[in-house]
Amino acid sequence: MSAAPMSAADVAAWRARMPGAFGRDGRARALRLLGWAAFLLWLGWALWHFGFTPERLWNGLSGLATILRLMVPPSPGELWVDILQGLAESVAMAFLGTFIAALIAVPLGFLGAGNVVTNTLFRFSLRRVFDGFRGIDQLIWALAFVRAVGLGPLAGVLAIATADVAVLAKLNAEAIENAERRQVEGVTAAGGGFLARLRFGVLPQVLPVMLAQALYFFESNTRSAAILGVVGAGGIGLQISERIRVRHWDEVAFIILLMVATVAAIDWLSARLRRRMIGG
Amino acid sequence: MYRLDSWAWLLLETANMAALATLMGAGAAVLLAFPAARNLGAGRILCPAARRLLEAMRTVPEIVFALILVWAFGVGPLAGILAIALHTAGACGKLFAEAIENTGLGAWAGVRSAGGTWMQACRFAILPQVAPNLLSYALLRFEINLRSASVIGFVGAGGIGEELYKVIAFNYYEEISAILLLVILAVCAIDLLSERLRHRVIGAMA
């Protein structure tokens, strides 16, 4: 049996009863339209403001094509020893910076943990200091340290260490807060003091976590150490920015490939080490 | 003595740079993620090509892109936006492709068996399923890009970084800390805003 076709009056009645079934009502549609209009307006303004003209894009793209053409084939150039040295310096900077940050972050982590330091005001302010440090990018630290201690890898090491101490300390504090209390109670029952509780009750539990985090940071720091040299803080970044300045694009391409390969190698190595430490 | 009005304007410009770069990068990432997803069978050549391209864009740091693009496009925010967008496309493309790989293929099979082309199946079967997920990743990336946009000016690619570079170079200590404070405040504000938005997006998904 087939249903009788609905009359216009029926349709109107249903539309009044269930407006949602007939598509969005006028208000929602208007709001939607308004939202899109605002978005398009912003997009248009932003494109205009930042100078996305077809002419500029075309000129830029043809310039980029020239650069890319000059990049092939990549060549180590005459000063390839400097490049390798810069690369080694970058890895060393990342290692030393992470090492210093990890060392300082251990006591700071204990200070920031709620189950070790019970003074809420102290802990709260310490955590906010950590947050503040984290909000400043590594490159900004590097620039500041270059002004403070001069050009060279020392500024890079200090920048990496300062930027990472806060984050590592926060992660350590969280790890310590998640540690089990039973071991601590055991040490207390055996007559251990405050320090003995931390050393033998808490530390053995959180040490693998801390180590794994430090390794993870080392990984990400090899990436950032590679670019800190752009502001003069040593490492391969200095080499690449110098070669870009004199437009030796084939050497630039070589350095980029080298950087990518190094980062991949360190990622692989560190992932294996971490799996061994945590999963073992 | 503090040039608050010009800094506020620069900060706004930096945020706009980050937003535009995120939009462009995420847009490119969506286009590349469909061929890069292993489960959609984009082809023997297209799929690995898309994956390698995303990898290359992801592993080269933004600052290096910016250094090169400043030569090609001239000093200014345009180079910075394009540099951040390139890196964003690589980073988001990988996450997007993984999100696509984790979707059920029921709807996909439905559209394909109804005669839909590969593109139509991507658009009508996969995109609606992953859209909230992608949106939330893109918002997260916006937070990260705001940080990058605030330092990309160091190499002459626009935003508040150029001003910061200048005051650090001239040792205007008070202005350094004032600008840093402004940047931290802006980053925190955007983080909070974007976190709330992300929770709403994820809530809509569930």
CB contact under 8 A, A244 and B16: no
Residues A207 and A260 in one domain: yes
Is residue B100 very low, low, confident or very high in pLDDT (cuts 50, 70, 90)? very high
CB contact under 8 A, A64 and B155: no
Eight-state DSSP code of residue A275: I
> Which pLDDT belongs to residue B168?
85
Residues present in chain B in total: 206
Residues of the domain holding A93: 81-279
User: Does residue A104 surpass a pLDDT of 90?
Assistant: yes
User: Does residue B30 surpass a pLDDT of 90?
Assistant: yes
Could you tell me which of B48, B16, B32, B171 has the C-alpha nearest to residue B91? B32
Looking at the domain assignment, is residue A3 inside a domain? Answer: no
Residues A44 and A113 in one domain: no
A226 touches B at CB < 8 Å: yes
In chain A, how many domains are there? 2
Identify the H or E element spanning B205: helix B173-205
CB contact under 8 A, A136 and B73: no
Is residue B189 very low, low, confident or very high in pLDDT (cuts 50, 70, 90)? confident
CB contact under 8 A, B73 and A56: yes
Residues A17 and A46 in one domain: yes
ipTM of the complex in this document: 0.82
Q: Are A129 and A166 in contact (CB under 8 A)?
A: yes
Question: B78 to chain A: which residues are within 8 Å by CB?
Answer: 50-52, 56, 60
CB contact under 8 A, A132 and B184: yes
A70 touches B at CB < 8 Å: no
Q: How many CB atoms lie within 10 A of CB A130?
A: 22
Which of A41-45, B41-45, B68-72 is least confident?
Answer: B41-45
B67 touches A at CB < 8 Å: yes
Show the DSSP H helices in chain A as ranges: 8-17, 26-49, 54-71, 80-112, 120-135, 138-149, 153-177, 182-189, 194-196, 203-228, 236-245, 249-274
Placement of tokens 């075309």 in the chain: A58
Q: Which of B72, B73, B187 sits opposite A135 (nearest CB)?
A: B187
Average the pLDDT over A117-134 and give the result. Answer: 82
| Type of residue at A22 | F
CB contact under 8 A, B61 and A223: yes
CB contact under 8 A, B68 and A252: yes
- Angle at A60 (CA atoms; ends A55, A66), nearest 5 degrees: 130
Could you tell me which of A60, A228, A44 has the C-alpha nearest to residue B83? A60
Looking at the domain assignment, is residue A5 inside a domain? Answer: no
Residues A40 and A131 in one domain: no
Q: How many CB atoms lie within 10 A of CB B12?
A: 12
Q: For B4-205, CATH number? A: 1.10.3720.10
For residues A25 and A221, which has the higher predicted lDDT (pLDDT)? A221
Residues A35 and A91 in one domain: no
| Site from B24, B55, B62, B63 to mutate, A interface, most A CB atoms within 10 angstroms | B63
User: Does residue B120 surpass a pLDDT of 60?
Assistant: yes
A223 touches B at CB < 8 Å: yes
Could you tell me which of B104, B103, B84 has the C-alpha nearest to residue B16? B84
Q: Which of residues 238-267 of A touch B (CB under 8 A)?
A: 240-241, 244, 247, 252, 256, 259-260, 263-264
User: In whole angstroms, what is the distance from residue B165 CA to residue A49 CA?
Assistant: 22
Q: What is the pLDDT of residues B123-137, one digit of tens each?
A: 999 999 999 889 999
Question: A128 to chain B: which residues are within 8 Å by CB?
Answer: none
Looking at the domain assignment, is residue A49 inside a domain? Answer: yes
The secondary structure of chain B in percent helix, strand, coil, rounded to multiples of 5, reads 85, 0, 15
Q: How many CB atoms lie within 10 A of CB A128?
A: 10
User: In whole angstroms, what is the distance from residue B92 CA to residue B85 CA?
Assistant: 10
Residues A35 and A138 in one domain: no
B135 touches A at CB < 8 Å: no
Closest Cα in chain B, distance from residue A194 (Å): 37
User: Does residue A1 surpass a pLDDT of 50?
Assistant: no
Looking at the domain assignment, is residue A72 inside a domain? Answer: no
| Site from A39, A137, A256, A268 to mutate, B interface, most B CB atoms within 10 angstroms | A137
Residues A117 and A210 in one domain: yes
Looking at the domain assignment, is residue A234 inside a domain? Answer: yes
CB contact under 8 A, B59 and A230: no
CB contact under 8 A, B171 and A260: no
User: Does residue B206 surpass a pLDDT of 60?
Assistant: no
Residues A100 and A177 in one domain: yes
CA A259 → CA A237, A252, B72, distances in Å?
10, 10, 22
Residues A95 and A160 in one domain: yes
Average the pLDDT over B85-97 and give the result. Answer: 94
Residues A95 and A33 in one domain: no
Is residue B3 very low, low, confident or very high in pLDDT (cuts 50, 70, 90)? confident
User: In whole angstroms, what is the distance from residue B74 CA to residue B77 CA?
Assistant: 9
Looking at the domain assignment, is residue A33 inside a domain? Answer: yes
* Axis-axis angle for helices B127-151, B173-205 (nearest 10): 180
Mean pLDDT of chain B: 89
Residues A179 and A222 in one domain: yes
Question: A139 to chain B: which residues are within 8 Å by CB?
Answer: 63, 151, 154
Could you tell me which of B185, B179, B144, B183 has the C-alpha nearest to residue B163? B179
> Which pLDDT belongs to residue A224?
86
Residues A34 and A147 in one domain: no
Could you tell me which of A201, A186, A181, A41 has the C-alpha nearest to residue B16? A41
User: In whole angstroms, what is the distance from residue B172 CA to residue A238 CA?
Assistant: 25
Q: What is the pLDDT of residues A7-58, one digit of tens each?
A: 888 888 888 887 777 777 778 889 999 999 999 999 999 999 998 888 889 9
Q: What is the CATH number of the domain that holds A237?
A: 1.10.3720.10
For A18, the token pair is 């269930």
User: Does residue B16 surpass a pLDDT of 90?
Assistant: yes
